[in-house]
Structure 1
Amino acid sequence: MPMTRISLKRGKTPDYKRSLMEQIYLAMRDTFNVPEEDRFMTITEHDDAQFDFGADYLGIHRSEDLIMIQITANNTRTTEQKKALYAKIAERLAADPGVRSEDVLISLVEVQKENWSFGNGEAQYA
């Protein structure tokens, strides 16, 4: 059910981008109990003029390698599960492909179950 959008500056290799998607997916499986095959992800690359951020917002020093991750998911997780997800994503991305934890920004957008259609014009979760 999660739909994940990853935004980053243009120029990373295909392997780097594949690793981002794989590690985020595995973190969701570990912490959000996401089923196998429940994988819907995109990556959008941006030029300098299309990618802006507060380099030191909240005392966290971000580099030009910042990755912005937006996950849309059902509003069924606890605060503890959300914190576990954020930590697991940062941990996995640090290990592969080597993203600094300061460069991992995550936004979770929660929706009602009936707000999904996975195909055929049907609301499968409603």
Structure 2
Amino acid sequence: MPLLHISLRAGKPEAYRQAIFDSLYRAMREALNVPEDDQFMTITEHDAANFRYGASYLGVARSDDLVFIQITVFDTRTVDQKKALFRRIAELLGDSPGIRPEDVFVNVIEAAKENWSLGHGIAQFA
């Protein structure tokens, strides 16, 4: 039950943004065994004045095409699954829409299953 928040600089066409959604969904299906139709994602676009990053922090040469991806998931994933997810996200976003691996910034936040309600005010996984 991943929830994704994606942030990028404004100005990319709709096809580019849709390719991000598609690539991220595929990466989660492959690396985390996310069920079919488990797609809960948002993209927020920012103008240049509201988008800041360390252009060379930790020796990674980032550009204005940087994409921040924050993924909240159940706290049941292994370190190996998360590493596979990071790798697969960078590969797939490189293929479509063509984002350089240096511009893929991913953060995973883990939450216990009882901390989720997917509708109707019910804790479906508690």
Q: TM-score range by the shorter chain?
A: over 0.9
The two structures, once aligned, show a CA RMSD in angstroms of 0.4
Distance 2:115 2:34 in 1: 17
Cα distance in 1, alignment partners of residues 123 and 38 from structure 2: 16
Report matched runs for 1:29-40 at 5 Å: 29-40=29-40
Alignment correspondent of 1:47: 47
Equivalent residue letter for 2:44: T
State the alpha-carbon separation in 1 of the partners of residues 100 and 41 from structure 2. 21
Structure 1 counterpart of 2:80: 80
- How many residue pairs were aligned? 126
Note the residue ranges of structure 2 that are not aligned, 5 or more in a row.
none
Instruction: Look up the SS of the partner of 2:70 in the other structure.
Output: strand
What runs of 5+ residues in structure 1 fail to find an aligned partner?
Answer: none
Q: Deviations over 1:29-67 (max 9, x none)?
A: 000010001110000000111100000000000000000
5 Å-filtered alignment, 1:39-118, equals: 39-118=39-118
Give the structure 2 partner of residue 18 of structure 1. 18
Question: What is the TM-score when the length of structure 2 is the normalising length?
Answer: 0.99
The letter for the 2-side match of 1:77 is R
Amino acid at match of 2:59: G
Tell me the distance in 1 between the aligned counterparts of 2:95 and 2:50.
28
Question: Percentage identity across aligned positions?
Answer: 55
Deviations 1:89-110 (CA, angstroms, capped at 9, x unpaired): 0000000100000000000000
Question: TM-score, normalised on structure 1?
Answer: 0.99
